[in-house]
Chains A and B, each alone.
Chain A
């Protein structure tokens, strides 16, 4: 076996050090700026590559990152390995059970969320190929590429955005996650088929057999091999060192998957991805193991891969504003319309459907990998590749703010965000009944509800079990026929008897009205209000207020203090 010379070894280690150092550094910087680290890592690559470093110090670029020769090949091999592990990590997080549970709505969202962008991409590429490629005769394969590239979403960025917005575990959040997982699964199978077609067009081979093979491989892995892993993983976790044993097992299995697909004539990435799905679905795989694997891959292989992207292309010379705009418009319009329409068909309201569209519009590593392959196969040129990178960067930056915009404050936050100063009164009521009526009238006049009906519901609940809570708090409440929760507050400084457990009179009276079919929302808001005043000093603070504005501003402060 020939070896790297001392200089080549130095060059190789230097290249990896610089790539990892800059990639991680910029990733961390972007994380601090509340942006996706992937964007920082790509920018690190642009700085280190022909765009900036190569422009000012071309010789230095050639020395540190040679394109050919043993060091160039080694870097290329590292990148290929990074792609495999990135795909393994994506596969590990696909939860097949949740796909079945959210089946219909997730499936409809995924279907339209992939179909519409695919049609947009395919149609534009097929009808006006001259904008993007030199040889219009290759329009079919190019159209397939653009359609596929635009139809894939980025699960990690979506998950992160949902976590930041505190809607991860809501019905909407879980449906988005399930759809993104469906999207990944279908997207990668479609991508493998696309690669087979692309490779088949050159050789004249039938495209039917690779498609059958891909589907068969996926089915066998997901139905049979997954069950085998389910039995093996407890043994691996128990008998081998932890977490080294299980991490090694998963990484090796990912590579085995890649080897199998390569041997069967499919692309290695499908093997790594599907192997990830088969492994990750096991209930025995500990959450901490998943996180350690994600950490390992994210911190080592992801920066190497994303920096490599920047090294490969001169972003300045390849930048074509027309192409960037077309890709952005197609990408945004296709995904937002498609996934949004799918969510709407799946039973979500207008604003929530938009939120689904914006969330699913997040693009990431998968588009980049797909585009890199297409670039290497000569299907696309560097300008389109840059256009896709722009789509990834801009869609990931805009995803969070757009979801926020579409959902509005009431869906994202809790009790305090439901309130404005108009919803708070200083009450002089002398009985519990009068106080409840005063609050019901306040809520009903603002939200145009029938006050007799609402009062009857609230009073029925109040009579069944009084709603006085400790620390001068009472929360009369009811579930009524409304779409969004309503909260109003009365401050009664004399206090009223709501039969609180601590025998104190209730001075802060919160009326909470929630939609009829949302049991969990009611419990969430009730416990949130109770927690807000679980500390006596918080109650005192509110009781010592003289106006609704003062109460509201104190509530906001208490809430932020508790967070």
Chain B
């Protein structure tokens, strides 16, 4: 079933001197070991001796060898410089910290983390509560839409779950039929509408089971869930309710703009309220 999984061989992290920045560095350290990857640290600021010393202390405290770490010094708009540097350095995975929810003005104007999530040219792992004692992800949730990007997301989640020795991989398919309630106007039957919904849900479950077989995902316990409601919102709510450890989503296929924030749909719901660590799978160069 197409090109499978995306190896994260080069991890990018925008490094700051804040406590969250330090925690993110520890998280990055864990991932670097897990993927046997290389790390690229991007620091937005003037390259001074003081800054360099401070950075060296921080980096070494997280277990990295300062002299062997690739540090990129950039200046300008924080989000833009990180996104551009990641592209330039062929980063496969960008690690960012983000608030679960931002205030209304920040959400609409677009914060650094949200901008990276929307616009990065590679996959992005968003951590809402990074820790200096990072733990592995045990419960993986993946959003399914059967696109190639979605297949990559499933395969990546599967590979990652195997590495993490995860307990469970949960595939989530959302279905929505706007205007369906209106058909009761014509049929007069809520039972018929409910039946249609149940049939669709069964079809989706069958398709997901078939997808699991097709992709030969046999080494881990996989659950499938079909949710009815607004796509994006329902999956987000579900992941929150079941205390998912990581939510893997394919990146949106079109560039999200202000209009998408006003009339939210799909991925924008996740950006509005991040339910847990989110891994956005994007094919490099897309």
Are A and B a genuine interacting pair, yes or no? yes
Interface residues of A (CB under 8 A from B): 27-28, 31, 36-38, 89-90, 92-93, 95-101, 155-160, 163, 168-169, 177-178, 180-181, 223, 281, 283, 287, 290-291, 294-295, 297-299, 302, 464-465, 519-520, 523-524, 526-528, 530-531
CB pair B1–A519 under 8 Å, yes or no, is yes
Shortest CB–CB separation between residue A254 and chain B, in angstroms?
16
Contact B179 A37 (CB under 8 A): no
B7 at interface (Cβ–Cβ under 8 A)? no
Q: Which of B23-31, B145-153, B238-246 is found at the contact surface with chain A?
A: B145-153
Known: A159-B179, A168-B196. A523 touches B228 (CB 8 A): no
The residue that A527 contacts in the complex, of B182, B210, B228, B265, with Cβ under 8 A, is B210
For B216, the chain A residues whose CB sits under 8 A away are 464-465
Shortest Cβ distance from B211 into A: residue: A523
* Contact A159–B180 (Cβ < 8 Å): yes
Q: How far is the CB of A276 from chain B (nearest CB, A)?
A: 11
A-contacting residues, B169-219, CB 8 Å: 175-188, 190, 193, 196, 200, 203, 206-207, 209-211, 214, 216
Can you list 22 A-B contacts with CB-CB less than 8 angstroms, sorted by A residue number? A37-B186, A96-B263, A97-B265, A98-B265, A99-B263, A156-B185, A159-B179, A160-B182, A160-B185, A163-B187, A283-B229, A283-B233, A283-B269, A291-B181, A291-B184, A294-B181, A520-B146, A523-B146, A524-B203, A527-B203, A527-B206, A530-B210
Further pairs besides A156-B182, A159-B183, A294-B185: 12, Cβ < 8 Å = A27-B188, A97-B264, A100-B259, A156-B186, A160-B182, A168-B177, A281-B263, A283-B230, A291-B181, A298-B185, A520-B146, A523-B211
With a CB–CB cut-off of 8 A, which chain B residues contact A92? Answer: 181
Cα-based distance from A377 to B260 in the complex (angstroms): 41
In the complex, what distance in Å separates the CA atom of A396 from the CA atom of B179? Answer: 17
Name the A residues within 8 Å of B135 (CB-CB): none
* Residue in chain A with minimal CB distance to B197: A287
- Taking the closest CB of chain B, its distance from the CB of A40, in whole angstroms, is 11
Contact present for B230 and A37 (CB under 8 Å): no
Distance of A523 from chain B, by nearest CB (Å): 4
Q: Smallest distance from the beta carbon of B238 to chain A beta carbons, Å?
A: 13
Q: Find out whether the CB atom of B186 lies under 8 angstroms from the CB atom of A157.
A: yes
Complex contact B146–A100 (CB within 8 A): no
The one of A36, A157, A298, A464 in contact with B184, judged by C-beta atoms closer than 8 angstroms, is: A298
Q: A294-B184, A294-B185 are in contact. Are A93 and B179 (CB under 8 A)?
A: yes
- In the complex, the answer to whether B262 meets A223 with C-beta atoms within 8 Å is yes
The 8 A-B residue pairs whose C-beta atoms are closest, nearest first, are A97-B265, A527-B206, A95-B178, A160-B186, A290-B181, A520-B146, A523-B207, A159-B179
B266 sits at the interface (CB 8 A): yes
Other-chain contact of B187, A90, A97, A160, A290 (Cβ < 8 Å): A160
**Which residues on the B side are within 8 Å of A520 (C-beta)?**
146, 207
A291 touches B265 (CB 8 A): no
Complex: how many Å from CA A181 to CA B183? 14
* Contact of B210 (CB < 8 Å), options: A155, A294, A302, A526: A526
Q: How far is the CA of A299 from the CA of B209 in the complex (A)?
A: 41
* B185:A527 contact, CB within 8 angstroms: no
- List the B side residues contacting A291 at CB < 8 Å: 181, 184, 190, 193
Which single member of A28, A156, A283, A464 contacts B183 (CB below 8 Å)? A156
Query: Is the CB–CB distance between A98 and B185 below 8 Å?
Result: no
Q: Which residues of A contact B190 (CB under 8 A)?
A: 291, 295
CB atoms of B181 and A287 under 8 A apart: yes
From known contacts A283-B229, A465-B216, infer whether A295 and B265 are also in contact, taking CB-CB under 8 Å: no
Give Cα A177–Cα B183 distance, bound, in whole angstroms: 12
Most buried by A among B148, B207, B216, B269: B207
Query: Is the pair A100, B186 in contact by a Cβ cutoff of 8 Å?
Result: no
Cα A362 to Cα B262 in complex, Å, equals: 31
Question: Is A163 within 8 A of B180, CB to CB?
Answer: yes
Interface contact B177-A527, CB-CB below 8 Å: no
| A295 to B182 CA separation, bound complex (whole angstroms) | 9
- Name B192's closest neighbour in chain A (CB-CB): A163
Which B residue's beta carbon lies closest to that of A104?
Answer: B254
Q: Give the residue among B181, B207, B262 with the most A Cβ atoms within 10 A.
A: B181
Q: Which of B211, B229, B265 contacts A100 (CB 8 A)?
A: B265
A98 to B230 alpha-carbon distance, docked (Å) = 9
Residues of B within 8 A of A95 (CB): 178-179, 230
Q: How far is the CA of A178 from the CA of B177 in the complex (A)?
A: 10
CA distance A527 to B265 in the complex (A): 29
Residues of B within 8 A of A524 (CB): 203, 207
B75 to chain A, nearest CB (A): 36
The CA of A531 and the CA of B151, in the complex, are separated in Å by: 23
Chain B residues lying within 8 Å of A287, measured Cβ to Cβ, are 180-181, 228-229
> Is the CB–CB distance between A101 and B265 below 8 Å?
yes
